[in-house]
Each structure stands twice: as C-alpha cells, then as structure tokens.
Amino acid sequence: MPRTKIFSILFFLLMKIISPAECIPFHEARKYVGETKCVTGKVLRIKEGRSGTTFFDFCEDYRSCPFTVVVFPRDLKNVGDVRSLPGKDIEIHGQIKLYDGRAEIILKRGAQFSGAVTNLPPLPKGYDVQKKGQYSAGSFGHPSSHKPAKKEQPARGQIEEDVEPTGSEQ
C-alpha cells in the first residue's frame, strides 16, 4: 500500500478519535476557532483565486459568509478533484482558524473529508494548478535551427553560365 494512502487512513482514524462524532454546521464554526472539529455544510461554489488557491463557498455571497474551506495549489493533488463538490453536503475535519474575520479550515488531504464525500477522484493528468486550473500538456515549439538562406533559382528557360570548380569561366 502506498505510503500516502497509509498516512491518509491514519489521519482519518486520528481525526475520528480526536473529533466528536457530530459535525457542527458551518455557520457555527467561528465559535470553535483554534479547535479541531468536523464542520458540515452544502458547497454552493468552488472558486479559484488569482494565485491558484481554491475556496469552497457555503453562502450565496462569499463576502458575508462566516466560513470557508481553503485548498492551496500545492495541496490540490493530495485532496483530489474538488470541482465535483458544488451542490453536495460535505463534512470536513481540521483545525478551525480565523482569517480576515472569517472561520476557515485549510484542506490539505482528502482524508479530511468524511460522510458521503470521502473519496474524490484524482486530478486529471495534465491539470496544471500553477496555471489556475488550466489543462496543460506542455508547450510545443518548433526546434530552432539555422537553415541556410534559400538560393535563388533561375527562372525557367534561363541557363546559368557554366562555372568551373576552380572558379574561372570558360
């Protein structure tokens, strides 16, 4: 079994032991800042910031929402393809932090999910988190080579003067 899978299972089991069985609703998360809890809510949107950071929106207006989930680009490969989450109720485990007046959980691994959403599909091959979610198979460019300049060909019907290899004309 791969090392990351074992770590994910252990983390999930540890979260189950540490966290109470009941999840708190996302609108109550601020009361538990600094604690490790399970928070539940329906994801309305997944948004991506300018730096490639992914945010889960639980409210129509994210600016007035009391809670969010944050996934940094470097962690997205460990979390999975979160683009399938809008419209789903999720349970997420982690330390509740306060950032910019709002409670948040930083999602680093897929094992932080429980309930109906526990196994997200992996990111598609070629998914480039550094390019803000754009698919990238790399860039293609023609090899640069120095081609000799094309020699002007005589027009049809014209005959070139005969030149001897020594360079003198006949």
Short-list 85, 117, 99, 80, CA closest to 29: 99
Secondary structure class of 157 (helix, strand, coil): coil
What separation, in Å, do the N-terminal and C-terminal C-alpha atoms of the chain show?
83
Q: Is residue 158 part of a domain?
A: no
pLDDT at 23: 96
Number of domains in the chain: 1
Q: Is residue 166 part of a domain?
A: no
pLDDT above 90: percentage of residues in the chain: 47
Identity (one letter) of the amino acid at 146? Answer: H
CB 127 within 8 A of CB 135: yes
β-partners of residue 103 are: 67, 98
Full domain range(s) for residue 100: 3-125
CATH code for position 70: 2.40.50.140
Q: Is residue 53 part of a domain?
A: yes
Angle at 111 between CA 85 and CA 92, to 5 degrees: 55
The confidence band for 115, taking pLDDT boundaries of 50, 70 and 90, is: confident
Angle at 153 between CA 148 and CA 157, to 5 degrees: 170
Predicted model pTM: 0.63
